[in-house]
Amino acid sequence: MEEKKFIYLDHAATTAARPEVVEAMLPYFTEKFGNPSSVYTFSQQNKAVITQCRDVIANSLNAKSNEIYFTAGGSESDNWALKATAEAYASKGKHIITTKIEHHAILHTAQYLEQRGFEVTYLDVDENGLVKLDQLKAAIRPDTILISVMFANNEIGTIEPIKEIGEIAHEHGIIFHTDAVQAYGQVPIDVDEYHIDMLSASGHKLNGPKGIGFLYIRTGLKLRSFIHGGAQERSRRAGTENVTGIVGLAKAVEIAFATMEERTKKETAMRDHLIDRLLAEVPYARLNGHRTKRLPNNVNISFQFIEGESMLIMLDMKGICASSGSACTSGSLDPSHVLLAIGLPHEIAHGSLRMTLGEENTMEEMDYVADQIKEIVTKLRAMSPLYEDFVKKNK
Amino acid sequence: MYSEKVMDHFTNPRNMGEIENASGVGTVGNAKCGDIMRIYFDIDENQIIRDVKFKTFGCGAAVATSSMATELVKGKSIYEALEVTNKAVMEALDGLPPVKVHCSLLAEEAIHAALWDYCEKNGIKIEGLSKPKNDISEGEEEEEY
């Protein structure tokens, strides 16, 4: 019998912590357990370690160490960036600009702020998922206090024109936040060059541990404390530091940036091979997201006439882990808001498949996956009344 | 997430396909919500469902409920088929996750829609059988890309 395969193609959901990361973390669970806020040497060593970790992260972004605030992850960073900016700058204005394709950590927080008297403009994107700069400029008002645009989209992988957006925000004196949860560690980011004032990132998307992330906050920004109750994180985010998480995150960041060029080159080659094969060999398939302004590891393809969850189950039976923008995978009746925002009709959005690659994947796996997808699509189309109607109509 | 029976009916669907010149065809659901079911009946002169086939666009539960529904009505009279409820389909599948219950309702509606089509073609009126409310033609126009 053929050995059961395990091909993990859901790195945008989460990644495995690297062995080096786990190894770096382990002593801080046991022998180096000290609370960094304590006075004695044993604990002060942990305070020093946190400072070193903060330096590693600051360097990766061309930021200053005291601009990095550790959080529990991307969602917390996004919540903090939006809520605290809104509160601190409410006297200046009550208008926020974001996009229709943000992660729910941004969208739901923006809706929360709308219920509290803020006005939010949700920018459209073009068919490739790119923010339209003209529309952004036109949306700016005298009372606009914040622009929040994701660095790269988690579903379709499109990389936004962050530098241009940053320049526009800067020219108008508006704070610019970017959710870089998917992009950080995948593409080079320089907060000064891109005029980024705040940036959210998460550890477990780049082979670090879960439950740790950070928010970059540019010096000089007025920003309220997110969690009260202690002097940690310059009194802005109280609570005993997640030392193990911080150590793991810094190790993951160190490796991710040291290997970025080589790793993303390999991923891009696999990505392009998988995309090319699927588009060439499966009829009525389309690539979602920009073809080149795209995360190195993202493949998102819609297969017409079939539904995503069915595909995922069949892929799972072949040992392949992927995800979909279909309603059935979201627990609601609507397919992914991102796929609708790029103009896909509902039934095509339901038939989307996202595969996000990692460095441990291989070209052989891409070929196996492409072969399996071809079979699965054929099988599901044979079952589909939509395909039947389409074939009859075109006879 | 799914019972073994659901997985079995999803991976080995019973009665999948179509019937040419079917006695009754019913299509319910819409592509907007991500589920479309179509059921074909071949009904003999004694009003017995001689053969039944289905086609479904939808998730694993949608395929499995269609498959099970066809099993439950095959060989039954049209009156017996009308008695097959979504609950019966769910029970036969050893249950469905709560978010998938609507799939079993769709299966019940698909049976009713196919029966309605048959009855309408043959001038039969059955108490309790009404015109299907889910009309696929309500969905958006098919879009090409």
Chain-chain contact of B55 with A385 (C-beta, under 8 angstroms): yes
A200 backbone dihedrals φ, ψ, rounded to 5°: -105, 140
Residues of B with CB below 8 A from A384's CB? 36, 55-57
Comparing B129 with A331, the larger pLDDT belongs to: B129
Chain-chain contact of A347 with B32 (C-beta, under 8 angstroms): yes
Rounded-to-integer distance, Cα A150 and Cα A125, Å: 12
Tokens matching residue A154: 């988690």
Rounded-to-integer distance, Cα A43 and Cα A47, Å: 7
Q: In the predicted model, is pLDDT for residue B143 greater than 90?
A: no
Q: CA of A93 to nearest chain B CA: how many angstroms apart?
A: 39
| pLDDT value for A335 | 87
Rounded-to-integer distance, Cα B100 and Cα B114, Å: 22
Q: Report angle CA A56, A58, A61 to the nearest 5 degrees.
A: 110
| pLDDT value for B31 | 77
Rounded-to-integer distance, Cα A41 and Cα A27, Å: 16
Q: How many CB pairs under 8 A join A and B?
A: 82
Over residues B97-124, mean pLDDT: 94
Chain-chain contact of A384 with B55 (C-beta, under 8 angstroms): yes
- Which residues, 6 or more positions from B131, have their beta carbon under 8 angstroms from its beta carbon? B116
Residues of B with CB below 8 A from A394's CB? none
Residues in B whose CB is inside 8 Å of some CB of A read 2, 7, 10-11, 13, 16, 18, 27, 31-38, 55-63, 99-100, 139-140, 142-143, 145
Q: How many residues does chain B have?
A: 145
Q: CA of A374 to nearest chain B CA: how many angstroms apart?
A: 16
**Upper half-sphere CA count for residue B43 (Cβ side, 13 Å):** 25
Specify which residues B25 forms β-bridges with: B40
Rounded-to-integer distance, Cα A340 and Cα A252, Å: 34
**Upper half-sphere CA count for residue A119 (Cβ side, 13 Å):** 10
Q: CA of A388 to nearest chain B CA: how many angstroms apart?
A: 9
A278 backbone dihedrals φ, ψ, rounded to 5°: -65, -45
Contact A14, A24 (CB under 8 A): no
Q: In the predicted model, is pLDDT for residue A2 greater than 80?
A: no
| pLDDT value for B6 | 97
Task: Answer whether A345 touches B (CB < 8 Å).
Answer: yes
Exactly one of B25, B36, B84, B103 is catalytic; which is it? B103
Q: pLDDT by residue (tens digit) across B16-55?
A: 999 999 999 999 998 777 899 999 999 999 999 999 999 9
Rounded-to-integer distance, Cα B88 and Cα A87, Å: 54
Rounded-to-integer distance, Cα A344 and Cα A330, Å: 17
Task: Answer whether A280 touches B (CB < 8 Å).
Answer: no
Q: In the predicted model, is pLDDT for residue A9 greater than 90?
A: yes
| Spacing of C-alpha B69 from chain mean position | 6
Query: By mean pLDDT, which of A22-26, A327-331, B20-24, B126-130 is the weakest?
Result: A327-331
Residues of A with CB below 8 A from B11's CB? 314, 317
Q: Report angle CA A81, A86, A89 to the nearest 5 degrees.
A: 115
| pLDDT value for B115 | 96
- Other beta carbons within 10 angstroms of residue A203's beta carbon come to 33
Of A328, A347, A388, the CB nearest to B31: A347
What one-character-per-residue DSSP string does A259-324 give?
Answer: SHHHHHHHHHHHHHHHHHHHHHHSSSEEE-S-SSSB-TTEEEEEETTS-HHHHHHHHHHTTEE-B-
Of A313, A317, A385, the CB nearest to B57: A385
Tokens matching residue A166: 């940053």
Mutation pick from B3, B27, B35, B57 vs chain A, by most beta carbons of A within 10 Å, is B57
Exactly one of A26, A88, A269, A328 is catalytic; which is it? A328
| pLDDT value for A327 | 67
| pLDDT value for A333 | 65
| pLDDT value for B139 | 41
Specify which residues A215 forms β-bridges with: A69, A200
Q: pLDDT by residue (tens digit) across A47-65?
A: 999 999 999 999 999 999 9
A298 backbone dihedrals φ, ψ, rounded to 5°: -105, 125
Q: pLDDT by residue (tens digit) across A304-330?
A: 999 999 999 999 999 999 999 876 655
Tokens matching residue A234: 């310059």
Residues of B with CB below 8 A from A348's CB? 143, 145
Tokens matching residue A158: 């499109």
Rounded-to-integer distance, Cα A14 and Cα A358, Å: 10
| pLDDT value for B1 | 84
Residues of A with CB below 8 A from B57's CB? 305-307, 347, 383-387
| pLDDT value for A332 | 64
A302: closest chain B residue by CA: B145
CA dihedral A27, A31, A35, A41 (to 10 degrees): -110
Q: CA of A382 to nearest chain B CA: how many angstroms apart?
A: 8
Q: In the predicted model, is pLDDT for residue A288 greater than 90?
A: yes
Residue B119 annotated among the catalytic residues of the structure: no
Q: What percent of chain A has pLDDT over 70?
A: 97
Chain-chain contact of A347 with B33 (C-beta, under 8 angstroms): no
Contact A166, A185 (CB under 8 A): no
Q: In the predicted model, is pLDDT for residue A212 greater than 80?
A: yes
Q: pLDDT by residue (tens digit) across A115-162?
A: 999 999 999 999 999 999 999 999 999 999 999 999 999 999 999 999
Tokens matching residue A72: 């529990």
Rounded-to-integer distance, Cα A181 and Cα B67, Å: 42
Query: What value of ipTM does the predicted structure carry?
Result: 0.90
Closest by alpha carbon to A124, among A167, A83, A160, A77? A160
Contact A145, A197 (CB under 8 A): no
3-state SS, residue B139: coil
| pLDDT value for B145 | 39
Q: What average pLDDT is seen over chain A?
A: 96
Q: What percent of chain B has pLDDT over 70?
A: 92
Rounded-to-integer distance, Cα A244 and Cα A30, Å: 10
- The terminus-to-terminus CA distance of chain B in angstroms comes to 34
| Phi-psi domain of A338 (left: phi exceeds 0; alpha: psi -120 through 50; beta: other) | alpha
- The interface residues of chain A toward chain B in range 15-74, judged by CB-CB distance below 8 A, are none
Mutation pick from B25, B30, B40, B59 vs chain A, by most beta carbons of A within 10 Å, is B59
B140: closest chain A residue by CA: A345
Task: Answer whether A350 touches B (CB < 8 Å).
Answer: yes
The CA–CA distances, whole Å, from A55 to A47, A48, A290, B80 equal: 13, 11, 34, 73
Of B10, B16, B57, the CB nearest to A386: B57
Of B7, B37, B59, the CB nearest to A328: B59
Exactly one of B1, B33, B99, B124 is catalytic; which is it? B33
Q: What percent of chain A has pLDDT over 90?
A: 93
Contact B14, B67 (CB under 8 A): yes
Contact A357, A297 (CB under 8 A): yes
Rg (CA), chain B: 14
Contact A305, B57 (CB under 8 A): yes
Chain-chain contact of B57 with A382 (C-beta, under 8 angstroms): no
Q: pLDDT by residue (tens digit) across B81-93?
A: 999 999 999 999 9
Q: pLDDT by residue (tens digit) across A169-183?
A: 999 999 999 999 999
Instruction: DSSP letter for B48, please.
Output: B
Tokens matching residue A301: 């393809």
Specify which residues B52 forms β-bridges with: B41
Residues of A with CB below 8 A from B63's CB? 310, 383
Closest by alpha carbon to A21, among A260, A249, A359, A258? A249
Q: In the predicted model, is pLDDT for residue A113 greater than 90?
A: yes
Q: Classify residue A112 as exposed, middle or buried by CB count within 10 Å of its CB (0-12, 13-18, 19+).
A: middle
Rounded-to-integer distance, Cα A288 and Cα A300, Å: 5
Residue A321 annotated among the catalytic residues of the structure: no
Closest by alpha carbon to A191, among A234, A212, A221, A211? A221
